[in-house]
Amino acid sequence: MTVEHRPKRARLELLVRQEDSAGFEVREIPSAVAYLHSHPQRIPDAQWELAQLPYAAGGAVTYALKNLPTEEIIQISEAEKFLWEQMDGRASLQEIATAYLLRYGSFDFAIIPTLIVKLLRADLLTMRPVSRLRAVLARNHRNAAARAMEGTLHALERLTVTSRRAHRFFERLYRYGGFVLFTPWTMLALVVMVALGAWSGVRIWHALDDVTHGLAQHPLVAILLVKVVFWLTVVNHQVIHALACIHYGRRVREFGFTILHGFIPTFYADVTDIFMSSRRARIVNAVAGPLFHLFLGAACLWIATLTSPGLIQGFLVASAILQLQSFVVSLYPFCFLEMDGYHVLVEWLGLPTLNHDAVRFVRESLWSRLRNLDTLTRRERIYVTYVALSLVSVASFVIGIAWLLVYAGES
Amino acid sequence: MARPPEIAFLRRVPLFQDLEEPVLRALGPSFRERRLRAGDVVFRTGDRGEELFLVKEGRIVVSKPVTGRIEQVLNRVEPGEAFGEMSVFGDERHRSATCQAETDVILYSLDRESLNRFIADNPLTAARFFQQLAMVAFKRLRDSSDLVAEVTRWGLEATGLDVEHT
């Protein structure tokens, strides 16, 4: 038997100087990382044309993709057409691969590199590295504000603390008790606790003055206590996602702390391996975290009814409100952020790249379709509904926060 | 007070390994010891080069500016190795790369004047020195061509360009 010895992926060693200091760090950049972070961008829309071929071998749908300036034509499959549509310069190859997996339920590791080679050969594609923001900042390096922002983003990125050996830890955690969370008994306990929580909520509602009085006596302690406990539960939310991943026999790639999008401090578990699993597994994984908040919220309300008025009761009720709010927020799908509820929605609709496609459709095609009085397809109506609901939700959230601040200030 | 390098250390340095002990002893006092903290720059690309350096302890990283604050790491200089010889003996008197301490480092420097005096006083021994210098230059050339090949491979892998079938 012959064994193929593939050369190790090439690595580039770069020395990155720190801003305004003599310090530096040496970073190793594997070519694979650069490849995954590249943003393939197809040539401008006016320069290409796509047509479905009238004949197809074995009933498979195929398309002809033509580069209009060079008149070069390549043939692509339905799956390759899907990938081509994602290559708008905004999505990274990693995101495109995830979208493909969600759409087709399986992943062929060769399809993306093969298609990219085909597209590059026909001059249909350019590859851009990293994010557009970082590219703009790099172009404007002489501008002090751009330099400061780049420095801040870099500092925030460095705050990421991660463990790539998390999988074994979560395997042990699952084996020594975590598996209980995925039994019918836990579901029963959740139902009972929610019922108890609802009953307790009604009781507390009638004695709300006692609760607020208890909090008002120790406002600083109460706020700090609620915040600390809430952060701990955010960790647990991610732990439960990780355990769900283990439950379905998939791998937890990473667990850690990061600054999401450069401004949201959060813990995270990389459970993207769940995409290789069944639809049911993906939905269970998505709802497991929010259900943990529901359970804790209900439990806090119930325990609050067993305690006498004071700091502890106030803390429990405030924690319950935060937990229930987290439950609703993480399951709410219409906010342009791809949180747990969004993943449930895309599974239900069967539109894995809903957010990306909906925003693109509204931005690029909707107005011309409306001007021409075209009838929208079912998918396009979903896109419009998603964007409209998300816009309304975000606007309501901002107005709500503003109203709350004004109201709180006055009272 | 800074001491000259020990003979045993100079014997480990390829450039000086073939030199007789009396010659090394005579050359010893010309060396200047320098202690650097991690991050200290020995010289930058474009600086005028007047000295050759030997690393006694620690590690030097050699890099070349690429864009903004990013530089390509070309090489590392370990204890017993020399650097900075290109602008002392080459046709270009300016430094071709930046050398910076990656860890705390102890160096010995030898200036152009002392080297020229050593060559003038010991023409036969200097021939052996230059033979070793040529070896070092060949190794640098080999390392550079390996790096070019590696960077090209990186570029091909990172862009997914399949040149064989283009």
b/e B143-157 (16+ beta carbons within 10 angstroms → b) = eeeebeeeeebbeeb
Length of chain B as a residue count: 166
Q: Flag whether residue B66 sits within 8 Å of chain A, measured between CB atoms.
A: yes
Q: What is the ipTM of this complex?
A: 0.79
* CA A21, chain centre distance (Å): 36
In the beta sheet, which residues pair with residue A88?
A41
Residue A211 CA to residue A143 CA, distance in Å, equals 52
Vertex A258, ends A254 and A259: CA angle to 5°? 150
Interchain CB distance below 8 Å, B154 and A31: yes
Of B70, B100, B155, the CB nearest to A16: B70
Report the pLDDT value the prediction gives residue B63, as an integer from 0 to 100: 93
Report the pLDDT value the prediction gives residue A2, as an integer from 0 to 100: 43
Report the pLDDT value the prediction gives residue A192, as an integer from 0 to 100: 95
Q: Flag whether residue B71 sits within 8 Å of chain A, measured between CB atoms.
A: yes
> Cβ contacts (< 8 Å) between A120 and chain B: which residues?
159-162, 166
DSSP A11-59: EEEEEEEPTTSS-EEEEEEEHHHHHHH-EEEEPPGGGEEEEE-S--GGG
pTM of the model: 0.52
Residue A124 CA to residue A246 CA, distance in Å, equals 41
Report the pLDDT value the prediction gives residue A3, as an integer from 0 to 100: 45
Provide the number of CB pairs (under 8 Å) joining chain A to chain B: 78
Residue A288 CA to residue A179 CA, distance in Å, equals 13
Site from A9, A11, A17 to mutate, B interface, most B CB atoms within 10 angstroms: A17
How close does chain A come to B71, measured CA to CA in Å?
A: 5
Residue A143 CA to residue B65 CA, distance in Å, equals 20
A→B contacts (Cβ < 8 Å), by residue, are 7, 9-19, 22-24, 26, 31-32, 34-35, 38, 113, 116-117, 120-121, 127, 138, 141
How close does chain A come to B142, measured CA to CA in Å?
A: 18
Task: With a cut of 90, say whether residue B76 has pLDDT above it.
Answer: yes
> Cβ contacts (< 8 Å) between B102 and chain A: which residues?
26
Are B53 and B97 in contact by the 8 Å Cβ rule? The answer is: no
Residue B66 CA to residue A247 CA, distance in Å, equals 47
* CA A65, chain centre distance (Å): 32
Higher pLDDT, B83 or B165: B83
Interchain CB distance below 8 Å, A121 and B71: no
Kindly state the tokens that stand for A254: 């990473």
**Helix (H, G, I), strand (E, B), or coil: what is residue B30?**
helix
Interchain CB distance below 8 Å, B160 and A113: yes
b/e A242-272 (16+ beta carbons within 10 angstroms → b) = bbbbbbbebbbbbbbebbeeeeeeebbbbbb
Task: With a cut of 90, say whether residue B53 has pLDDT above it.
Answer: yes
> Cβ contacts (< 8 Å) between A10 and chain B: which residues?
150-151, 153-154, 157
One digit per residue, the tens of pLDDT, for chain A of length 411 reads 444 455 677 788 888 887 666 688 888 888 777 777 788 888 888 888 888 876 555 567 788 888 888 877 888 888 899 999 888 887 888 888 888 887 777 767 678 888 888 888 888 887 655 555 555 555 566 677 766 766 666 666 555 566 667 888 899 999 999 999 999 999 999 999 999 999 999 998 888 787 777 777 777 887 888 888 887 888 888 999 999 999 998 888 778 887 765 666 778 888 877 776 778 888 999 999 999 999 999 999 999 889 888 888 888 888 898 899 889 989 999 988 888 999 899 888 877 778 878 888 888 888 888 888 888 888 889 999 999 999 999 999 889 888 888 886 666
Report the pLDDT value the prediction gives residue A290, as an integer from 0 to 100: 92
Report the pLDDT value the prediction gives residue A1, as an integer from 0 to 100: 41
Chain B residue closest in CA terms to A17: B69
Chain B residue closest in CA terms to A39: B159
How close does chain A come to B96, measured CA to CA in Å?
A: 16
Interchain CB distance below 8 Å, A14 and B73: yes
How close does chain B come to A95, measured CA to CA in Å?
A: 16
Are A107 and A97 in contact by the 8 Å Cβ rule? The answer is: yes
Of B68, B157, B166, the CB nearest to A9: B157
Residue A199 CA to residue A325 CA, distance in Å, equals 18
Q: Flag whether residue B143 sits within 8 Å of chain A, measured between CB atoms.
A: no
Sheet holding A264-270, edge to edge: A161-163, A254-260, A264-270
Residue A257 CA to residue A266 CA, distance in Å, equals 6
Kindly state the tokens that stand for A347: 């599974």
> Cβ contacts (< 8 Å) between B151 and chain A: which residues?
10, 12
How close does chain A come to B43, measured CA to CA in Å?
A: 13
What does each C-alpha distance from A338 to A83, A301, A335, B106 come to in angstroms? Answer: 20, 29, 8, 53
Q: What is the mean pLDDT of residues B111-124?
A: 89
Q: Flag whether residue B75 sits within 8 Å of chain A, measured between CB atoms.
A: no
Interchain CB distance below 8 Å, A15 and B158: no
* Integer Rg of chain A from CA: 25
Burial class of A10 by CB neighbour count within 10 A (0 to 12, 13 to 18, 19+): buried
> Cβ contacts (< 8 Å) between A116 and chain B: which residues?
160
Neighbours of A319 (CB within 10 A): 24
